[in-house]
Structure 1
Amino acid sequence: MRLKPIYILLLGLIVLSSFAAIQDSEMRIDTQLLTTQTEFEAGSAIILKFSASEITQPKLYCSSSYGSTLVTPSIQENMLLFTIPKNISKKTGQVQWKLLNDATSLSGQFKIVPIQEVTSMETYIGPPSIEAGGTDYTMLVVIPTDRLDNALPDNTIVDAKHQFLRNETSDAITTKNSIAYKNIYSEEKSGRMLVSSESKNTNSKEYTITVFPAIPTNFNISALRPHNYADGNQITTFETSVIKDKHNNVVSDGTYVSFYITNHKNNSLKTSGTTIKGVATAMMIHPDYKTQWSIKAYVDGMAESDMITLDYEQVINDFEVNFSKYNRNITIGPLQSFMKQMIPDGLQVTLLVYKDDILLETLHKTSIDGIVNFNLNPNSLKKGTYNIVITTAGLEQSFKALQLW
């Protein structure tokens, strides 16, 4: 009678082990990939089908260049259906997958290709300005994309078009690594170039490239003046010839031209102007004493002009000086110009005061109605004997041992 419980226990263990063996054999039923397609179009529904029993429901691990995810299956007619999420299915590239099943080790990959139509043309072009002459160029870069913003496959044909002056050109180029590009060279003439591209009946917008003239070549200058007198009042106007590059293109408006003037004392003056339709002008007031100017112009670092010389004649040959009020009130004038008319207002007169060859004061004034008045202050110049020097228009008068009261 004591053996009966032992037999019952052994019988139970046998039944349990048989059940576990059956369950283990069902868990080890082979899972197989039923989907044979390995290439899908971006944006389409991608479903991977596997054969399976009703017991196993493993997850599918998917990884692409845009990220990784786990996909839970649905069961239909003893099949596991894995629907690939849209964040992966709408982007092109290789997708690696692996079935997370302890009993079966399955893995593989499939490819997502772009939609075979062009929705947009991602276009880049630069630089926006180039130099005429045929050696400088701008680069057109085109990336045709589908409606999901995927780049189209290599060898997709792109027509690169450009128009310049009367010439229209279209060149077929192909994509490589999703990009198509072309170097567009300038011609000898300057102007505006229009650039666009087309692929699979989709066109880009229009781009504008400015073809500027090349480096200026040497040029000539001339001068225009109302007279040749050194009156310190009138204006001399300097003008360049039409400045062009080596291809005969007129230089761009706004090209900066510097005019350098050297007089007979080797002193330098400078004036400048910018070009309009290739011509630059600049002005300089006449000198107020007899001199000769040598003028040369430069487009800094690129081109230079010939040198011209201008002679300015003495406009005042002599001037009167009158002393009053204990020699402290000094009147210079009337100052007369080349037709004996009063010199225009603004002519500078300088008075120097010396004592024992030491310069004590320097006074400057400009003429008004041909007259200049100086008043020597008794607080700074005490009663005594001084030497006075007066200069104007390149002339000089000296008064030695002048007594100031």
Structure 2
Amino acid sequence: MNFIKNLFLLFWCFVTLVTTAQDITLLSKEKQFIAGDTIHLKFNTNSTKKHQMYCTNSYGSTLINSEVINNKMFFKIPTYISNKTGVLNWKILNNKNNISGQFKIVPKQQPVSLETYLGPPSIEAGGTDYTMLVVIPTDDLDNPLKKGTIVKVKHQFLKSERKTKVLTNNLIAFKNINSPLKSGRMIITSESLNLNSKEYDVNIMPAIGTNFKLFFKRNHKYADGNQITTFYTSIIKDKNRNVISDGSFVDFFITNKKGNMLKTSGTTINGIAYAKMIHPEFEDNWKVKAYINGISESDILKINYKKIIDKFDVNFYDNNRTVKVGPLKSFMNQMIPDGLKVKLAIYKDEKLLNDIIKKSKDGFVYFNLNSNIYKNGNYTIKITAAAVTDTYQAKKLW
């Protein structure tokens, strides 16, 4: 009797377990939905007990409460999840049977916008530099379209128009567009499923300049310390014969016959750089060379300047303490322009006491030797103008 009773209990437990195992059954068969669809997961159940479903995707995780109607259990996926593409994993909680699954949400196949990125906006001509176009076709819920969506890339430069096709991968489509040999402006646009992007442009800039020639112009060849010599370059071009960009900085270095160096500079306009330098005040020979720093250089330009003064008059007044130099005459016997430097060096017992430098005005220079500084006695006086020096030995001051 006990054996039969135990057997009955064992059978009842088995039936109970089987019934519990079959308590919840998935009825929904769809494994893929389109973003924006209303998504319900439907289950068959023998219980009125409510459950919770744990949902997770790449955007995050959430819990959903069930609804039970006529032995059917429903879970409605919220729109903030159903609007996003990707794989959604779900699992019913507090259930011994570990009921779980997943489905995929795919984007709509009609883009409403093309997110487009282009850069850099300026590249160097020559074919080695490039700009990258990145296009992300998205649907009306801002989901990127599926992998393999065709994107047409179109670009125009001068008389050339080209079209290429690229496919989206990892949410984006991209295309590297190499620079042409010539400088100018390239127009770029894209299209996907009959939707066109706006127009973008890229500046094709000239490459770095190559070596160039140097020229000069001046009003005359005399070293008057007044006129201007203008240096200018040939049209500086890159290796593809494009004129280099305006504003390129050019340094001009001038070496005179004493080995001293002068420097001037200019920037290019239409490929030509100009720089100016005042004439020397004495006979000189210049060697001029120009550089675009670290990039290119010119040939050496040689310029000669002739002296304008062979001699000049010097007169002493007021106990030899007032010294009049002049008239200082130029190459056509005219008065030299104002501003010529004249130096008076005064010595006592072969020791230099002072150098006094003044500039000419109306062809003359006047020096005053102060008696409080230079006591009465004999001095050596040297006067230099335009590299011509007159020396007066044992000049008595009183």
TM range (shorter): over 0.9
Contact residue 26 and residue 55 of structure 1 kept, 8 A? no
Contact residue 27 and residue 55 of structure 1 kept, 8 A? no
Within 1, Cα distance between the matches of 2:69 and 2:347? 120
The question of 1:217 aligning with 2:202 is answered no
Shift of 1:385: 2.3
| Partner SS state of residue 314, structure 1 | coil
Contact residue 27 and residue 56 of structure 1 kept, 8 A? no
Shift of 1:28: 6.3
2:345 pairs, out of 339, 352, 355, with 352
> What corresponds to 1:307 in structure 2?
300
Shift of 1:194: 1.0
The question of 1:391 aligning with 2:380 is answered no
> What corresponds to 1:365 in structure 2?
358
Within 2, Cα distance between the matches of 1:181 and 1:335? 76
Within 1, Cα distance between the matches of 2:189 and 2:95? 57
> What corresponds to 2:229 in structure 1?
236
Within 2, Cα distance between the matches of 1:356 and 1:296? 45
Greater shift, 371-380 or 163-172, is seen at: 371-380
Greater shift, 221-230 or 394-403, is seen at: 394-403
> What corresponds to 1:110 in structure 2?
103
Whichever residue aligns with residue 212 of structure 1, its letter is M
> What corresponds to 1:167 in structure 2?
160
Within 1, Cα distance between the matches of 2:39 and 2:136? 26
> What corresponds to 2:284 in structure 1?
291
Within 1, Cα distance between the matches of 2:324 and 2:386? 16
For residues 59-74 of structure 1, the aligned pairs below 5 Å read 59-74=52-67
Shift of 1:221: 1.6
1:200 pairs, out of 188, 193, 196, with 193
| Partner SS state of residue 164, structure 2 | strand
How many residues were matched structurally?
A: 386
Within 2, Cα distance between the matches of 1:376 and 1:316? 25
Contact residue 107 and residue 144 of structure 2 kept, 8 A? yes
Within 2, Cα distance between the matches of 1:385 and 1:79? 131
Within 1, Cα distance between the matches of 2:35 and 2:263? 69
| Partner SS state of residue 88, structure 1 | helix
1:320 pairs, out of 306, 313, 316, with 313
Contact residue 48 and residue 71 of structure 2 kept, 8 A? no
Query: Could you give the per-residue CA deviations for residues 335-393 of structure 1, whole angstroms, max 9, x where no partner exists?
Result: 11111111111111111122222222121111111111111222322222222111111
Query: Could you give the per-residue CA deviations for residues 276-321 of structure 1, whole angstroms, max 9, x where no partner exists?
Result: 1111111111111011111122222222222221111111111111
| Partner SS state of residue 228, structure 1 | coil
Q: TM-score, normalised by structure 1?
A: 0.91
> What corresponds to 2:79 in structure 1?
86
The question of 1:45 aligning with 2:38 is answered yes
Shift of 1:205: 2.0
Within 2, Cα distance between the matches of 1:105 and 1:310? 96
Contact residue 333 and residue 370 of structure 1 kept, 8 A? yes
Contact residue 30 and residue 104 of structure 1 kept, 8 A? no
> What corresponds to 1:7 in structure 2?
none
The question of 1:154 aligning with 2:147 is answered yes
Within 2, Cα distance between the matches of 1:199 and 1:28? 50
The question of 1:121 aligning with 2:111 is answered no
Contact residue 229 and residue 312 of structure 1 kept, 8 A? yes
Whichever residue aligns with residue 234 of structure 1, its letter is Q
Q: TM-score, normalised by structure 2?
A: 0.92
> What corresponds to 2:264 in structure 1?
271
Contact residue 254 and residue 287 of structure 2 kept, 8 A? yes
| Partner SS state of residue 203, structure 2 | strand
| Partner SS state of residue 266, structure 1 | coil
Contact residue 295 and residue 307 of structure 1 kept, 8 A? yes
Shift of 1:178: 1.2
Query: Could you give the per-residue CA deviations for residues 223-253 of structure 1, whole angstroms, max 9, x where no partner exists?
Result: 1111111111011111211111221111111
Query: Could you give the per-residue CA deviations for residues 86-144 of structure 1, whole angstroms, max 9, x where no partner exists?
Result: 22111111111110133442011111111111122122222222221222211112121
1:133 pairs, out of 126, 135, 138, with 126
- Structure 2 portions without partners, runs of 5+: 1-13
| Partner SS state of residue 306, structure 2 | strand
